[in-house]
């Protein structure tokens, strides 16, 4: 089966946010999304609102029997049991879109002679319309073999994404890396917004101030790389400012002070690499960060 034949009729088992985003992207790229099935009425409504021409099927088996490439877009824990409930056959191709689940979760399909793989866009899917607009340029972690691997690479490029071949066994590590600029980044923004609330500002005001800074940070990193793109008091070796931050945080929220210490400690090697933080100043900062709350005055930083 040629690459074009593999994507001749794309089907989805599961109609959640990832499915809605990818299906819409495939349709916009001129590909044929033939059918979808889901046990969730609300998910199907969202899918059909974005892809009204796609046929809705009542059973996953119909998707496998009528489509050339099946996207198994169910929750991670459901991938293996749903896959195992279907009768697969030679010539079929199925991929899941989980970042952390190994392709081995599709072994029941592989043993039946079907081609299997993983296709994971590194993108937030909180809102399918926002995710769709953000797809161009995003990386897709792909794991497959032979013709299916080639097809999935071409499919990623067709929707404007950057394909990345993942070796077997690394998916949990790869997926965890994405959390530092996804959910964990949102958690950090929430921490910053909480500090703004302590002086009377609300979350919207905090975000209006922090999001332009975030955009500037991303552009600085894009321009100079991680170390060269980093500014701030650690990068400058400004120990006095760090001490003021710690005193303010420890006085209002011990957990916030602990988080600041953890993050600032990871800034130290970047500051050294950047060339703006001397080893002597770095040692002083490290001692300050290790000092117990309330004992900052005992650390000499001048």
State pLDDT tens for residues 40-60.
999 999 999 999 999 999 999
CA distances from residue 187 to 157, 184, 194, 259, 300 in whole angstroms, order as listed: 31, 5, 10, 11, 33
In a domain, 178, yes or no: no
Identify whether residues 101 and 202 lie together within a single domain.
no
Identify whether residues 120 and 154 lie together within a single domain.
yes
Which two tokens mark 97? 């879109």
Identify whether residues 137 and 29 lie together within a single domain.
yes
Domain boundary among 103, 138, 171: 171
pLDDT in tens, 79-106: 999 999 999 999 899 999 999 999 999 9
Domain boundary among 147, 171, 195: 171
Identify whether residues 282 and 225 lie together within a single domain.
yes
Quote the domain boundaries for residue 189.
183-298
CA distances from residue 10 to 58, 68, 75, 94, 95 in whole angstroms, order as listed: 16, 6, 19, 10, 11
Identify whether residues 104 and 222 lie together within a single domain.
no
Q: Where is 82: in which H helix or E strand?
A: helix 76-84
Residues 113 and 89: beta-carbon distance below 8 Å: yes
Cβ-count burial 52-71 (b if 16+ within 10 Å, e if not): eebeebeebeebbbebbbbb
Average pLDDT over residues 26-36: 97
Distance CA 106, CA 115 (A): 9
Identify whether residues 45 and 148 lie together within a single domain.
yes
Identify whether residues 268 and 216 lie together within a single domain.
yes
In a domain, 94, yes or no: yes
pLDDT at 299: 55
Distance CA 112, CA 206 (A): 54
Q: What is the number of other CB atoms lying within 10 angstroms of the CB of residue 102?
A: 18
Distance CA 87, CA 112 (A): 8
pLDDT in tens, 117-159: 999 999 999 999 999 999 999 999 999 999 999 999 999 999 9
In a domain, 177, yes or no: no
pLDDT band at 221 (very low <50, low <70, confident <90, very high): very high
In a domain, 139, yes or no: yes
Identify whether residues 111 and 28 lie together within a single domain.
yes
Domain boundary among 121, 145, 171: 171
Residues 12 and 33: beta-carbon distance below 8 Å: yes
pTM of the model: 0.90
Say how many domains are in the chain.
2
Residues 67 and 34: beta-carbon distance below 8 Å: yes
Distance CA 293, CA 107 (A): 53
In a domain, 203, yes or no: yes
R_g of the chain computed on alpha carbons:
24
Identify whether residues 245 and 209 lie together within a single domain.
yes
**HSE of 153 in the Cβ direction (CA atoms, 13 Å)?**
11
Identify whether residues 61 and 142 lie together within a single domain.
yes
Identify whether residues 70 and 107 lie together within a single domain.
yes
């Amino acid at each position: 089966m040629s690459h074009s034949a593999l994507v001749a009729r794309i089907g989805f088992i599961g109609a959640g946010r990832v499915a809605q985003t990818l299906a819409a992207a495939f349709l916009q790229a001129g590909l044929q999304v033939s059918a979808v099935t889901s046990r969730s009425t609300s998910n199907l409504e969202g899918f059909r609102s974005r892809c009204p021409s796609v046929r809705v099927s009542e059973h996953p088996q119909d998707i496998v029997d009528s489509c050339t490439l099946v996207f198994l877009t169910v929750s991670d824990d459901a991938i293996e049991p749903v896959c195992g409930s279907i009768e697969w056959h030679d010539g079929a191709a199925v991929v899941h879109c989980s970042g952390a689940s190994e392709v081995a979760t599709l072994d029941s399909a592989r043993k039946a002679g079907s081609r299997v793989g993983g296709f994971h866009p590194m993108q937030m899917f909180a809102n399918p319309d926002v995710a769709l607009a953000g797809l161009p340029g995003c990386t897709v972690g792909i794991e497959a073999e032979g013709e299916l691997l080639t097809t999935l690479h071409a499919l990623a490029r067709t929707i404007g994404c950057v394909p990345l071949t993942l070796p077997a066994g690394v998916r949990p590590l790869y997926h965890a890396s994405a959390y530092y600029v996804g959910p964990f980044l949102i958690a950090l923004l929430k921490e910053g917004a909480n500090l703004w609330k302590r002086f009377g500002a609300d979350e919207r005001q905090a975000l209006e101030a922090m999001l332009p800074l975030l955009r500037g940070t991303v552009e600085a990193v894009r321009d100079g790389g991680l170390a060269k793109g980093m500014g701030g008091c650690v990068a400058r070796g400004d120990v006095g400012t760090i001490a003021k931050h710690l005193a303010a945080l420890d006085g209002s929220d011990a957990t916030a002070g602990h988080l600041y210490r953890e993050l600032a400690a990871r800034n130290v090697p970047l500051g050294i690499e950047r060339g703006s933080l001397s080893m002597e100043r770095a040692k002083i900062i490290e001692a300050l960060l290790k000092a117990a709350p309330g004992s900052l005055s005992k650390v000499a930083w001048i």
